[in-house]
Amino acid sequence: MTSWIQRLAPPGAASVAGSRRAQMARAALARVTTPLLPDDYLHLANPLWSARELRGKVVSVTTETADSATIVIRPGWGFSFDYSAGQYIGIGVLLHGRWTWRSYSLTSVPDSSHGDKTVAITVKAMPEGYLSSHLVNGLVPGTVVRLAAPSGEFVLPEPLPPRLLLATAGSGITPIMSMLRTLRRRGERSDIKVIHSAPTADDVLFAEELESMAAEGLIDLTLRLTRESGKLSVDDLAAVCPDFLERQTWACGPGGFLDMLTAAYGDDDRLEQLHIERFALERGASDAQGGVITFGTPDRQVEADGATTLLEAGEQAGVLMPFGCRMGICQSCVVMLDKGAVRDLRTGAEHIAGERVQTCVTAAAGDCTLDV
């Protein structure tokens, strides 16, 4: 029974279990309530209590710009506030009868000692996107959501480097905002240059807060309004931050912005100074062929085109797939490919039966079977 629950547990269940005390409490609860699952009892008492998944309740949805909003969530039992600024959470929302999961950087400060037992994310509505528009325009306070525990390597080291560059564009400011808010609350100081790009002044997320951080000397801020001045180039970067090559840099934004920075840092040694967080899968390869994907047993099959990842296809078919970053970074989504072939949408590399594959970055290259 246990292994079935683990294999089909919602994403992040492994990291939820990262809290040893919570794990032991869950095990004890399971023994006490056998043969029924602890959830059957807990849910009756409080919809936020679950022994095997993290849940949270939406506290508020606050408009930030015309197409973005900050969502404050109060996590239920088992959530650890011991995360690091810059990490992201998974959020699962019931939409059109299906739980849909996406990752969002936390914009809150990882410190519950102030009595604030909430977390915040800031979402930009993507015009063609499935979930983000709903989160910004349709989510109402009181909604119960599923959560995957905070994770990610996009964090600042301790102690802070003497000189930092934080370079962001659009919604890429979100993980950086958590870092800056945390440094501000802790009173930590360094030489911090922030360069942030947005189309217009009205599109700048957290504009007032950034200005106030600059006014109090926490950061040296350059705002680049691309509709007036064009996209930031390597030359522009050198002009506004002449010593950028001597700074440890944390960068987040659209693919083109991050590619510009990667080019600016040039050779491999310097690239070690550049720490990047991507929000979207960089599809370098042309689509795979597509095919019928079988998820474990023949009664769980779906036909998918070559642009749909195995993870997306599984979720669309109602299969609970393990995942973390959805970006090819964390390996949480790796499963065994039992039959057929799949293609990596970033590199075009083909994987065949017997290999373990990352379902978030691969698509069917003909009919295939996954061990899920």
Ligand X SMILES: Cc1cc2nc3c(=O)[nH]c(=O)nc-3n(C[C@H](O)[C@H](O)[C@H](O)COP(=O)(O)OP(=O)(O)OC[C@H]3O[C@@H](n4cnc5c(N)ncnc54)[C@H](O)[C@@H]3O)c2cc1C
Binding positions for ligand FES, rule: CB under 6 A: 323-333, 358, 360
Contact of residue 17 among ligand FES, ligand X, none (CB under 5-8 Å per partner type)? none
Token pair for 199: 């189309």
Q: Which residue, 212 or 316, has its beta carbon nearer to ligand X?
A: 316
Separation between Cα atoms, residue 121 and residue 326, nearest integer Å: 17
For the bound state, the minimum distance from the C-beta of residue 146 to ligand FES, rounded and expressed in Å, comes to 16
For the bound state, the minimum distance from the C-beta of residue 329 to ligand FES, rounded and expressed in Å, comes to 5
For the bound state, the minimum distance from the C-beta of residue 331 to ligand FES, rounded and expressed in Å, comes to 5
Contact of residue 127 among ligand X, ligand FES, none (CB under 5-8 Å per partner type)? ligand X
For the bound state, the minimum distance from the C-beta of residue 333 to ligand FES, rounded and expressed in Å, comes to 3
For the bound state, the minimum distance from the C-beta of residue 324 to ligand FES, rounded and expressed in Å, comes to 4
Size of the site for ligand X (CB under 6 A): 22
The distance between the two most distant Cα atoms of the chain, rounded to a whole number of Å, is: 67
DSSP codes, 148-215? EEEE-S----SSPPSEEEEEEEGGGHHHHHHHHHHHHHHT---EEEEEEEESSGGG-TTHHHHHHHHH
Q: Which residue, 129 or 161, has its beta carbon nearer to ligand X?
A: 129
User: Closest by alpha carbon to 21, among 29, 31, 9?
Assistant: 29
Among positive and negative, which fits the CA dihedral 94, 100, 101, 105?
negative
Separation between Cα atoms, residue 42 and residue 50, nearest integer Å: 6
Contact of residue 132 among ligand X, ligand FES, none (CB under 5-8 Å per partner type)? ligand X
35: preceding bond cis by omega (within 30 degrees): yes
Report 79-138 residues binding ligand X (CB under 6 A): 88, 102-105, 121-124, 126-132
- DSSP reduced 3-state for 114: coil
Contact of residue 129 among ligand FES, ligand X, none (CB under 5-8 Å per partner type)? ligand X
Site residues for ligand X per CB under 6 A? 88, 102-105, 121-124, 126-132, 171, 174, 279, 325-327
